[in-house]
């Protein structure tokens, strides 16, 4: 941007100081803001009119594309009909409709939905459900929670405790007690440049047996994992790994939670990764694509057995002392129902599956570009991992991000990994544009 353009932009913008931005270099942003003022379909537009292809679907969430007219209309209609009604002891029709719709598309046996407002809340809710479930069954000693290295489960205290991303944990003191972690499955020595699920690494699931041996199964409530880890840089489950985790959990009476905040709603080429991989957990956490990112909402989807376990005690009693003011908010519920309509009517989960090969081929054409040490993909999730510059971790990927942005494409970086999760409506020409913009960025660096 020229000095003149920067001055003009600053003149048109509000004062940027008061907003403390999340997961952002505030000072860097405020000295050189990248403002998005409008979006439509796969494109976002900056404040000064630049058109950008959104290769991340917002933040892995706008699966139906931005500002889908049917979702917009549903939100508008809901806003003028019922803005809010008490979330506890009162209900409204849309939220029941959404729960029913979710039970139709979730894996067999997962029939209940508890609504929250974000992925972080979904995770904390699922962990609490797991603990209470065991206690209700007379196994109150099962309090231990098992996460995984490099796992991302949001930023609540529960989520960072089971999460495995050090910068998200280290500043925040003592966390949940009694948490342990499985190793992650990312291994470039064995699996670099895998197309789809990597061949090597199913045995890493057996580490769960060692954790059980150490703590004893009678102390372990739940294992939480992302079927495909997104935030940590797209880490794929080796073939057979999730099946093995499921078997070990079954053997020891441990609940399995799939965190599908990213992989849900078509991203993995089916309604849920659990369905695509044919491995059914006991609880699924979702958010993001649930409303196609249009209104904040998350949910925990639960097996009937878990719901039934809570539905005991005196009639009239509250069965689960948990919930949020905005649980099942009417605008979110309306957006959720409309998003599910769009996914169904436009066949977007099937479309994600159909585009998978083109996406894979395009991404893997970057394998031999400068500094690329890995390319990996599954569904409409992909990553290009770069060799870090010595002593400057993240710098290489951030430079690529900036170059792509200047070239009209928004990508996401995490460490020195470029991550891609385009809206499910992406076409082949747009995939090509993303990949060519990354190629240009890498060659120019």
Nearer to ligand PXG, 147 or 230 (CB): 230
Q: Does 120 bind ligand PXG (CB under 6 A)?
A: yes
Nearer to ligand PXG, 285 or 309 (CB): 285
Which of 66, 153, 184, 186 binds ligand PXG (CB under 6 A)? It is 153
Q: Does 154 bind ligand PXG (CB under 6 A)?
A: yes
Q: Do β-strands 298-303 and 110-116 pair in parallel, antiparallel, or remain unpaired? A: antiparallel
Among 245, 207, 209, 203, residue whose Cα is nearest residue 224: 245
Instruction: Put the strands of the sheet holding 110-116 in their side by side order.
Output: 110-116, 298-303, 283-286, 255-259, 220-225, 144-148, 179-182
Return d(Cα 160, Cα 171) in angstroms, integer: 11
Q: In angstroms, what is the minimal distance from the CB of 133 to ligand PXG?
A: 20
Return d(Cα 208, Cα 414) in angstroms, integer: 27
Q: Does 376 bind ligand PXG (CB under 6 A)?
A: no
Residue with the two structure tokens 């209700």? 136
DSSP annotation of 82 reads -
Mask 18-57, x = binds ligand PXG (CB under 6 A)? ----------------------------------------
Cα radius of gyration rounded to whole Å, the chain: 22
Which of 42, 105, 113, 123 binds ligand PXG (CB under 6 A)? It is 123
Q: Does 291 bind ligand PXG (CB under 6 A)?
A: no
Site residues (CB under 6 A) for ligand PXG, limited to 249-288: 259, 261-262, 287
Return d(Cα 383, Cα 89) in angstroms, integer: 45
Residues listed for the chain: 445
Site residues (CB under 6 A) for ligand PXG, limited to 411-440: 412, 414
Q: Does 369 bind ligand PXG (CB under 6 A)?
A: no
Nearer to ligand PXG, 217 or 225 (CB): 225
Q: In angstroms, what is the minimal distance from the CB of 57 to ligand PXG?
A: 11
- Identify whether the C-beta of residue 376 lies closer than 8 Å to the C-beta of residue 236: yes
Q: In angstroms, what is the minimal distance from the CB of 416 to ligand PXG?
A: 14
Q: Which two tokens stand for residue 306?
A: 């878990």
Q: In angstroms, what is the minimal distance from the CB of 396 to ligand PXG?
A: 17
Half-sphere exposure of 22 (CA within 13 A, CB side): 4
- Identify whether the C-beta of residue 39 lies closer than 8 Å to the C-beta of residue 54: yes
Nearer to ligand PXG, 105 or 290 (CB): 290
Q: Which residue is nearest to ligand PXG (CB)?
A: 119
Nearer to ligand PXG, 153 or 212 (CB): 153
SS3 165: coil
Residue with the two structure tokens 């376990």? 309
- List interacting residues with ligand PXG (CB under 6 A): 59-60, 118-120, 123, 152-154, 226, 230-231, 259, 261-262, 287, 412, 414
């Amino acid at each position: 941007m020229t000095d003149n353009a920067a001055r003009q932009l600053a003149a048109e913008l509000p004062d940027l100081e008061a907003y403390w931005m999340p997961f952002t270099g505030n000072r860097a942003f405020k000295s050189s803001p990248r403002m998005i003022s409008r979006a439509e379909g796969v494109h976002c537009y900056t404040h000064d009119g630049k058109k950008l292809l959104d290769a991340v679907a917002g933040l892995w969430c706008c699966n139906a594309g931005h500002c889908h007219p049917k979702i917009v209309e549903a939100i508008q209609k809901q806003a003028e009909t019922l803005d809010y009604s008490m979330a506890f002891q009162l209900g409204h029709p849309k939220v029941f409709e959404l729960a029913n719709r979710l039970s139709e598309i979730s894996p067999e046996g997962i029939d209940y939905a508890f609504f929250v407002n974000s992925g972080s809340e979904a995770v904390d809710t699922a962990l609490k459900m797991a603990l209470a479930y065991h206690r209700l069954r007379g196994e109150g000693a099962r309090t231990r929670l098992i996460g995984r290295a490099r796992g991302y489960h949001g930023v609540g205290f529960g989520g960072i405790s089971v999460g495995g991303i050090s910068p998200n944990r280290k500043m925040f003191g003592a966390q949940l007690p009694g948490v342990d972690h499985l190793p992650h499955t990312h291994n470039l020595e064995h699996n670099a440049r895998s197309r789809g699920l990597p061949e090597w690494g199913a045995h890493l699931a057996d580490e769960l047996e060692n954790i059980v041996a150490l703590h004893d199964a009678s102390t372990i409530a739940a294992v939480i994992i992302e079927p495909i880890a997104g935030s940590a840089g797209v880490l794929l489950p080796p073939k057979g790994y999730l099946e093995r985790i499921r078997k070990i959990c079954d053997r020891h009476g441990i609940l399995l939670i799939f965190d599908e905040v990213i992989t849900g709603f078509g991203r993995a080429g089916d309604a849920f990764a659990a369905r695509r991989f044919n491995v059914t957990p006991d609880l699924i956490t979702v958010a993001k694509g649930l409303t196609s990112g249009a209104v904040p909402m998350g949910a925990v989807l639960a097996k009937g057995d878990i719901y039934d376990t809570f539905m005991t005690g005196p009639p009239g009693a509250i069965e689960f002392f948990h919930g949020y003011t905005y649980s099942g908010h009417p605008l979110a519920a309306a957006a959720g129902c409309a998003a599910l309509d769009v996914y169904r009517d436009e066949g977007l989960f099937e479309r994600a599956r159909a585009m998978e090969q083109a996406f894979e081929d395009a991404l893997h054409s970057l394998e031999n570009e400068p500094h690329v040490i890995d390319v990996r993909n599954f569904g409409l999730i992909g990553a290009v991992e770069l060799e870090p510059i010595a002593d400057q971790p993240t710098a290489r990927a951030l430079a690529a991000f900036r170059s792509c942005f200047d070239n009209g494409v928004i990508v996401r970086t995490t460490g020195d990994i470029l991550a891609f999760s385009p809206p499910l409506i992406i076409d082949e020409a747009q995939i090509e544009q993303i990949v060519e913009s990354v190629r240009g960025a890498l060659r120019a660096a």
